[in-house]
Structure 1
Amino acid sequence: MKRARFTEEQIIAVLKEHEAGAKTADLARKHGISEATFYNWKSKYGGMDVSEARRLKALEDENAKLKKLLAEQMLDAAALRELLFKKMVGPVAKRAGVAHLKAVMGLSERRACLIVGADRKAVRYRSRRRPDTELRGRLRELANERRRFGYRRLFILLRREGEPSGINRIHRLYREEGLAVRKRRARRKAVGVRVPILLEARPNARWSLDFVYDQFANGRRFRVLNIVDDVTKECLGAIPDTSISGRRVARELTTIVARRGKPGSIVSDNGTEFTCNAMLVWCKETGIDWHFIAPGKPIQNAFVESFNGRMRDEFLNETLFFDLDDARSKVAAWIADYNGERPHSSLKYQTPAAYAATFTATGDRLRNPDQLRRSPVAPPAPLGVQNPETLTAAG
């Protein structure tokens, strides 16, 4: 602020001389001022003493400060309105906000950093990380091929290709590329007490059966019978058709048993396909125990329900089916990929086929320290199932 040549005391003294009879021209020449300046002093300080002039000066200074504060607050409010639709979370977002305020409103870097709440060192920082162009491109390609895979499974696929980067780095690139999978909201949640049971860790200890539904491009519905090994997580069969009866289920199970061997038990819901006379006769001839879950409790058949969820999310919702032959070929291809290529999180990201290969022909685990170390008891499964000694024929 420019400093005044005359203080309030000096101005009051000049005005006193004029009141004492001195002429205006003589006073202007004596003190080196213009007559207009003298009359401005007279209109402002005329009739005042020194204390009153000082009080007026203090009020003017305070008023100037208040005006400046008001202007700054209005400028801050305008700047915040510019950033209203931007999330100021993280250094990258704050750096972008500061650049926006500097470009749009012409603010200084210091002022913009105060408004955004950013450190000037963080704003001036320039990353020295490698661009990772090839890795980012390959990650996008895998994410486009496996649209419902998260960063953990994509990391396993990259490791198979020889990528040495750790999972934290892959996660960072995954987030920076905006590849996060949108979670679909669950329609219902299981409630109630879950009672776990112990399941022997060997293939064919228990199978789970259930149906999943979809439709062709013309709107006609079809169903897929899924058969899952609860220990190895392998899909033993996925049979798509427009109609599947109990006799058809018995024929498909006979084919799988001939190829893989008899299971210790089978778990299913109370659908008519599983409670019909044909299944009663099949169980009696094969000697296989059949367990029915409680009505309305799909959580008691959690293994195949989990498989159905993955199939729905990663395959059915992403694929268009034109007819039954097209559905059979696409389902078979996806099942082959599920068993042999897709990493399974509950198997420490091994594939079901690779995990099943760790068992010997007698069902014992291979004693190899490089392979998975697991308990001889499989993870507990939610139960509460009915375990009748004999099946009761459904009407």
Structure 2
Amino acid sequence: MAAPAWFAFGFGGFEPVWKRQNPEALRPRPLDLGGKEASRRCVCKLRPSWSYTAALTGDGYLVLSGFVGGLPQQSVCFLHGGCRDLLTSEKYLLLLCKDHVECWDTGSLTSAGLHGEPLWKMELSGDKDGAFPLVSAGYVCPNPPFFKEFPHQLQVYKLALGGEHAVLLSTQQTVYAWGSGRHGQLGHGGVEYVPEPQTVEALQGVPMDDVAAGGWHSVSISEAGDTYVWGWNESGQLGLPCNKLAKVSERMGAGSKSVEISHGEEAEKGRENICEFISIQAFPALMDLPEGAAAHKASCGSRHTAVVTRCGSLYTWGWGNYGQLGHGDTASSDQPTRVKFFSQHQLDVQDVVCGVWSTFVLCHSKENEPRQFGL
């Protein structure tokens, strides 16, 4: 079986969407981080920011592609043998090494890689639980202050950082949320700011396997494969009826080429009797994937959502103005829609990572021989 490969769509640290001239070019494409040296390497970790993408390869190289540190489109590839994981923001790049975390200002990056000394560094003591950005006794952030402690009683398995909030999954499969709640993204039923991790009580007693946080919305996947959503639904990113999309659909009329219109008949199924639209969902709501598909992993962009199912399919919904939904157009949708590209090319989806306005998908071929995809 062919080695797993990354695909990308939307706007980010690869070919911008505005350079693409036809619908076919808006569909998922093999990830191209730029440069012959970078393209030969197998990516094991990928962390997108708004204007660049950072990748860690299996042989210890860091590859930064896009407008790194505000510089023109470029690809920087350099060896960093001690790096195990990474976290990005527009201004900062955090690297997890064997015994410490270091933070670099992206403005200090050159074509040769990192230059000078880290902006911030923290030594690690003892074993850390869960995945980065979790570290001993707390977590790191891609903006100052770079380290925050957890309450001592928390045993953390996974942490998802949103635009203004955080969602945590404990080792007991319980969901916590804190930070800004102005769009209901904390799931506590209100829109207040919550300074410390607080249990999402509406999900108490439901064992959870995954959490994700977007700009102003959140997603959790249960042990049974159910998808729960809450927060802002301005662009249909919760997969719930969105007034904005319905109004544009009505105004533009059937068959119109609008960047803010749901996906045709598939999006209208079962909508005839729905009269209530949802702008803010302050409590977790159960959202069904088409055909009863069981969810496995989730990721959130600024205003779009992607879910990988247990059978290896990818569903996306929300804001699609940059092609980040992968359906070959720039339409938005408030209905989960399967990205047909992967099944059409006999690809099983393993993982998904959403950037702000982009989506990256890790998949492998169902066939014995690797397939070729034109660039």
TM-score, scaled to structure 1:
0.20
Query: Larger helix proportion, structure 1 or 2?
Result: 1
Q: TM-score, normalised by structure 2?
A: 0.21
Higher strand share: 2
